[in-house]
Chains A and B, each alone.
Chain A
Amino acid sequence: MQDDQKKKLKLKVSAIKEGTVIDHIPAKNLFKVISILGLDSIENQITFGTNLESHKLGAKAIIKVTDKFFEDDEINKIALIAPHAKLNIIRDYEVVEKKVVEIPDTISGIVKCFNPKCITNNEQITTRFKVVAKDLISLKCKYCEKITNSNQIRMC
């Protein structure tokens, strides 16, 4: 059964020769991940699958980007919305490296401050947060100094 499923998954999204496969993205956040990584504005070949079965996530999504290798800083930006994402680095159809995402110590942009009276919600300003807790994410706004908790997180 499991082998069957694996086979099906492989069939659903075709293999790539060189590039990066981002797996275990929560299905509902796929398009946010695409947008945060700027995949909607690059020329590379990209295939993705979504609403795939996953024991861990219920419904997961997967993205395969040809000829693209992400810097850690770049990829860690998705940690807030895809904390269990795994990266497979592909060279000549083989997985040569596996990476997990890590929540960075500071976050610029991406997330809105939950405080409606914060200056960042009233003027064009890039939000900046210090990550004060990583397990249950909590972010301290550099400007209004209020804490945005994981259940209050909204994307910019």
Chain B
Amino acid sequence: MKKDLISITDFSKTEYLKIMKLAAEFEENPNQDLLKGKVVASLFFEPSTRTRLSFETAISRLGGRIIGFADPDSSSASKGETLHDTIKMVSNYADLIVMRHPLEGAARYAAEISPVPVINAGDGANQHPTQTLLDMYSILKTQGTLDNLNIFMVGDLKYGRTVHSLLMAMSEFENPIFNFIAPTVLEMPEEYKLLLREKGIKYYEHKEFTDIISAADIIYMTRVQKERFSDPIEYEQVKNVYILRNAMLEKTKPNVKILHPLPRVNEIHTDVDANQKAYYFTQARNGVFAREAIISHIMNVK
């Protein structure tokens, strides 16, 4: 049976750990001809340069060939072809489909239609599982473990798919503690808090972005997006509250690392960049190794 990766919960804890191990191997030795003779379709129904380049680098380092499109204007979708027909057609040609789509659920639907595996590279506000696996790899690399970590999530916790998926994945590990820092309008949704309560995992909610971060092992920053607010005054009130500045890191633990799915706007001040606790650019680099690991696992070549 083919394996797909649509949501982070499609993988078990054993699979998470396998991906972590493989990612480390690929970091040691990134160029391996495991996809030699294979064709991978890279279908970006919505432009995302960062994610696409990361995937295409991973595929190239594995020796695979890439077909596809980088934005919908250059695809048959612009002629009105349905997703169904595009996937039917492409799965005739390729051995694996990597797809990004603006509509939620598009990847799950494509996986149902396609006889070849599908990797979700983001479906609207829904899921982006390869981001989560690279986040986990970054956490493991910097902390040496995925157990017993105090994880702070800051900013837009309501709509931020990356924080939701990371929460789900990290809740599989031993004794995590979560701290959520967000304005009331962007609080962590009840369904995720419920999940933590059911698993007996501790979490704390804060409105203020202050000294409390001194307990953190990981600070996961997200962007507070203006378009999420119905009331512009509300946005003006909170937009500058959740900005991380270098001075705030003085009392934090020596092992703490700051992660961000990028792109950032102003939520991490550029004076943080030179601090060795800033990890977001290395995090992006880890994405290639994590994606090499995911692809080789899905394609059963590792």
Name A residues whose Cβ lies closer than 8 Å to a Cβ of B. 113, 115, 117-120, 122-125, 141-147
B109 and A125 form a contact (CB under 8 A): yes
A122 and B109 form a contact (CB under 8 A): no
Is B193 engaged at the interface, CB distance under 8 Å to the other chain?
A: no
B7 and A119 form a contact (CB under 8 A): no
A144 and B82 form a contact (CB under 8 A): no
A119 and B106 form a contact (CB under 8 A): yes
B124 and A143 form a contact (CB under 8 A): no
What's the Cα separation between A118 and B127 when bound, in Å? Answer: 12
Name B residues whose Cβ lies closer than 8 Å to a Cβ of A. 7, 82-84, 101-106, 108-109, 123-127, 191
B82 and A123 form a contact (CB under 8 A): yes
What's the Cα separation between A117 and B101 when bound, in Å? Answer: 11
Shortest CB-to-CB span from A150 to chain B, Å, is 16
Chain B residue contacts of A147, Cβ below 8 A: 191
Interface SS, A side: loop
B191 and A141 form a contact (CB under 8 A): no
- B84: which of A117, A123, A144 is its contact (CB, 8 Å)? A123
A119 and B82 form a contact (CB under 8 A): no
- A145: which of B7, B84, B101, B109 is its contact (CB, 8 Å)? B7
B191 and A119 form a contact (CB under 8 A): no
Shortest CB-to-CB span from A16 to chain B, Å, is 42
What's the Cα separation between A143 and B106 when bound, in Å? Answer: 7
Chain B residue contacts of A118, Cβ below 8 A: 103-105
Known: A119-B103, A119-B105. A144 touches B126 (CB 8 A): yes
What's the Cα separation between A124 and B109 when bound, in Å? Answer: 11
Shortest CB-to-CB span from A108 to chain B, Å, is 13
Chain A residue contacts of B109, Cβ below 8 A: 119-120, 123, 125, 143
What's the Cα separation between A63 and B186 when bound, in Å? Answer: 48
Most buried by B among A113, A122, A141, A147: A122
Looking across the interface, which residue of chain A has its beta carbon closest to that of B108? A143
What's the Cα separation between A152 and B127 when bound, in Å? Answer: 23
Known: A117-B124, A117-B125. A141 touches B105 (CB 8 A): yes
The list of the 8 closest CB pairs from A to B, nearest first, reads A143-B105, A144-B104, A144-B105, A119-B105, A119-B106, A119-B103, A143-B108, A119-B109
Shortest CB-to-CB span from B277 to chain A, Å, is 34
A120 and B105 form a contact (CB under 8 A): yes
